[in-house]
Structure 1
Amino acid sequence: MNTALAPRPTGPAHPARRTARARLAARRRLRVLAVGAALTAALTAATIYAIGTGEFDIAPADVIATLLADGSKAHEFIIETLRLPRVFTALLVGAALGMAGAVFQSLTRNPLGSPDIVGFTTGAGTGALIQILVIGGGMAAVATGALLGGLLTSLAVYLLAYRGGVQGYRLVLVGIGVNGGLVATNAYLVARAEFAESQVAVTWLAGNLNGRTWEHVNLLALTLAALIPLTLALGRRLTLLELGDHVATGLGIRVERARLTLILTGVALAAMATVAAGPVPFVALAAPQLARRLTRAPGPGLVPAALMGALLLLLGDLLAQRLLAPTLLPVGVMTGTLGGLYLAWLLVHEWRTTRR
């Protein structure tokens, strides 16, 4: 009998194949856990170093003792009043941007599907600028303006990209176009403002962690305490959407409703980060990609992306403080520079890969 023409078995998968798949899944889970542990350790070390460095250096042991309420009064004032708010703001903003970037890159199935590329962060900045320069108000009012600006921008991009559904590449292209219009709008708002107000706005638009207080930390902590668990709860839907609309529909997912919910959640994360530090560029773009390259796991990788985003922003802020000390650079200048280098490397890498 010709074995090549023999019918193939249609029963359950061979036990050896099931075992191989189970081992592969176990290795992936272990790698994800190992990467998460490594990022957490690096983040802890960077946090202690950031708290201890400055015009008055504090040893790591003294930093830990002060954080455990066993430090001197001088160390308590420097750490708790001057340095912790800035460090915590960097960590929370970086985590929010990293998770928002993972959501949008997974939804669009495109590495350029980042909230700062497709205009959502810029829209949040526009809303905040209108509140700061035109209407006026405190931190809560600015947060509301940024959130409304980001949500209105996301809805506009979604509706403009909708053609019987939303395709990832169309969402990215429409978002890039809307982003260009919003950048021009922000420039106009700054140009028409009074000199003192325009200087504050320009500094804020560059992405800045200078002068951050516990007010910023408390606002971020309260909002992210609700947004991050919600995003993680939606992670399964995000994973299924990566398989394609038809597969997700067959698995019982209401595709457009799930997509719109995830867009609004990601926009809220990016908007709150923008309120606290301004539109910090490239963290949302680079963090999910770097995390995915390390974990080598399918799916959006929300937690590794958040950890990577926090680490990138904290390291960027350390460079911004120390590179030209005593001059303090806006953190957005540093992340923009590093992000531009990363984007150039990514383009060269993709070009070499396609030529093989």
Structure 2
Amino acid sequence: MSVVALTTGDYPLSIPDVVRTLFGDGPPGAGFVVTTLRLPRLLTGLFVGAALGVSGGILQSVSGNALGSPDVIGFTQGSAVGAFFVILVLDGGMLAVSAGALVGGVVTAVVLYLLSYRGGVQGLRLILMGIGVSAMLLAINSYLITRASLQDAIVARSWQVGGLNGREWGHVTVAGLTLAVLLPIALAFGRRLSLLELGDDKAQALGVRTERTRLVLLAVSVALAAFTVAVAGPIAFLALAAPQVARRLSGTAGPALATSALMGAFLLVTSDFVVQRLFGSRLPVGVVTGAVGGLYLAWLLVHQWRRRA
């Protein structure tokens, strides 16, 4: 999909043309198309999709619920509040927006952790509390937009949908560094995450410090979600679907974080490619992921209800 995304469009290129362009010897005009328009957008999509896949995989494993996702339980909306405050009130740049999103996500995570803690974090309680907090944060975001100027409100509303339009190398840098730092930590805790799915008693008997492990993994999940919000906006349902699809395709009973990362990257890049070819580059990819994710969520709820019945 990456090769297809780089070579097709209004200015088609062959694979050798792209390679020569990357080394500074491409056809006339190819340098702008590849290095300014297509490659930053592609790399941002790969990094953001992978981060969302891992973030969703961690939350679903920790909560023991397929609905565990940063956009469902409020982490994404909390990050959006922080980013909105920087964009609409402080008029900050990329680094300031990233910091605001991280602070918003961390504060939301701390509140949810405290609300869900009853001798440990209860998965169902975390999901229910998260849905309620997410609704409240969405109302705050809407309020901030209504208080902004018309131009700022249009920009913020477009950003709130989530997308890869107009992404530059600064966005690639933030997303790439985030993934490079946090993905190894998540993979290092992958075995402990699998043991947590057996239950706290069994995990502790096998030497896992359950609450400490949960805190570290939740912190990684929140940070991944927060930085993706800062880079691409709150892209809906990708973190919900990617881990589930990865588990089904790989046939793995455990969290499969590496596979979730690959699936998240694939889903986002493919969705963005489809959006560009069918609707043009102006439509944010978050519109498609939201529509498809809504159908997936409905199917997931019906499937779980039938299985329990």
- Do these two structures clear the TM 0.5 threshold for a shared fold by scoring above it? yes
Distance in 2 (alpha carbons) for counterparts of 1:68 and 1:110: 47
- Picking from 96, 104, 110, the partner of 1:155 is 110
Identify the residue that residue 11 of structure 1 maps to in structure 2.
none
Q: Which amino acid aligns with 2:40?
A: P
Q: Give 1:63 deviation, angstroms.
A: 2.7
Give structure 1 stretches of 5+ with no counterpart.
1-45
Q: Contact conserved, 1:208 with 1:277, CA < 8 A, in 2?
A: yes
- Picking from 138, 141, 145, the partner of 2:100 is 145
Q: Secondary structure at the match of 2:120?
A: coil
Distance in 2 (alpha carbons) for counterparts of 1:351 and 1:61: 51
Q: How many residues align?
A: 309
Q: Deviations over 1:300-355 (max 9, x none)?
A: 10000000000100111112212223x62111101111111222332343344445
Identify the residue that residue 343 of structure 1 maps to in structure 2.
297
Q: Give 1:179 deviation, angstroms.
A: 0.4
Identify the residue that residue 267 of structure 1 maps to in structure 2.
222
Q: Contact conserved, 1:48 with 1:63, CA < 8 A, in 2?
A: no
Task: Look at both structures and tell me which one has the larger radius of gyration over its CA atoms.
Answer: 1
Identify the residue that residue 47 of structure 2 maps to in structure 1.
92
Q: Give 1:69 deviation, angstroms.
A: 5.3
Q: Contact conserved, 1:319 with 1:334, CA < 8 A, in 2?
A: no
Distance in 1 (alpha carbons) for counterparts of 2:257 and 2:62: 12
Q: Secondary structure at the match of 2:279?
A: coil
**Equivalences for residues 65-84 of structure 1 within 5 A:** 65-67=20-22, 71-84=26-39
**Equivalences for residues 297-316 of structure 1 within 5 A:** 297-316=252-271
The answer to whether the aligner puts 1:195 opposite 2:158 as a matched pair is: no
Is the deviation greater in 109-118 or in 50-59? 50-59
Identify the residue that residue 235 of structure 1 maps to in structure 2.
190
The answer to whether the aligner puts 1:276 opposite 2:234 as a matched pair is: no
Q: Contact conserved, 1:322 with 1:328, CA < 8 A, in 2?
A: no
Identify the residue that residue 329 of structure 1 maps to in structure 2.
283
**Equivalences for residues 162-201 of structure 1 within 5 A:** 162-201=117-156
Q: Deviations over 1:252-289 (max 9, x none)?
A: 22211111111011000011111110000010000000
Q: Secondary structure at the match of 2:29?
A: helix
Q: Secondary structure at the match of 2:194?
A: helix
Q: Which amino acid aligns with 1:221?
A: G
Give structure 2 stretches of 5+ with no counterpart.
none
The answer to whether the aligner puts 1:290 opposite 2:207 as a matched pair is: no
Distance in 2 (alpha carbons) for counterparts of 1:81 and 1:184: 36
Q: Which amino acid aligns with 1:260?
A: L
Q: Which amino acid aligns with 1:222?
A: L
Is the deviation greater in 158-167 or in 218-227? 218-227
Identity of aligned residues (%): 54
Distance in 2 (alpha carbons) for counterparts of 1:58 and 1:141: 37
Is the deviation greater in 103-112 or in 216-225? 216-225
Distance in 1 (alpha carbons) for counterparts of 2:25 and 2:306: 55
Distance in 1 (alpha carbons) for counterparts of 2:22 and 2:4: 13
Q: Give 1:168 deviation, angstroms.
A: 0.6
- Picking from 211, 216, 224, the partner of 2:171 is 216
Distance in 2 (alpha carbons) for counterparts of 1:90 and 1:283: 12
Q: Which amino acid aligns with 1:321?
A: Q
The answer to whether the aligner puts 1:132 opposite 2:87 as a matched pair is: yes
Is the deviation greater in 60-69 or in 205-214? 60-69
Aligned-residue CA RMSD in angstroms? 1.5
Q: Secondary structure at the match of 1:323?
A: helix
Is the deviation greater in 262-271 or in 75-84? 75-84
The answer to whether the aligner puts 1:244 opposite 2:204 as a matched pair is: no
